Amino acid sequence: MKNSKIEQSKKIVREMVELYCRRHLKTDTIPEEYSHLIDYACRRLDHCRFGEEKGACKNCPVHCYAPKEREAISRVMRWAGPRMLFYSPKAAILHLFGK
Ligand code: SF4
């Protein structure tokens, strides 16, 4: 299921967190806090109640994240979202349109 929406979303989240760490935090090694965030986001996606019908998490009426992780992923997305158009245009478009 490599091309499933869930797998695509996991890949995009990973890319965005990595971009945030590399460019914003200026480190090539993903800090523990952020590798936890990637794992957490991937687990949430694995258990997403909407499955392949899911839209963008930021528009989700449920939002299944705990407050701490929600705040962390929002911070990463705010920073990395616009920059993804430059670094990974395909991922950015998929993310923006929740495809
Ligand atoms: S925030 Fe919503 S769309 Fe995203 S994984 Fe959780 S339930 Fe699914």
Residue 61 DSSP label: S
Which pair of structure tokens corresponds to residue 7? 């797998």
Tell me what pLDDT residue 56 has. 87
64 C-beta closer than 6 A to ligand 1: yes
Span 37-80, pLDDT tens digits: 999 999 999 999 999 999 889 889 999 999 999 999 999 999 99
Enter the DSSP assignment of 66: -
Inform me whether the pLDDT recorded for 17 exceeds 80. yes
Residue linked to tokens 């990595």: 18
* 50 Cα: distance to centroid of ligand 1 (angstroms): 7
Contact yes or no for 84/16 (Cβ under 8 A) = yes
Query: What's the gap in Å between 87 CA and the centre of ligand 1?
Result: 25
> Using the 8-state DSSP alphabet, how is residue 31 labeled?
P
Quick check: CB of 73 below 6 Å from ligand 1? no
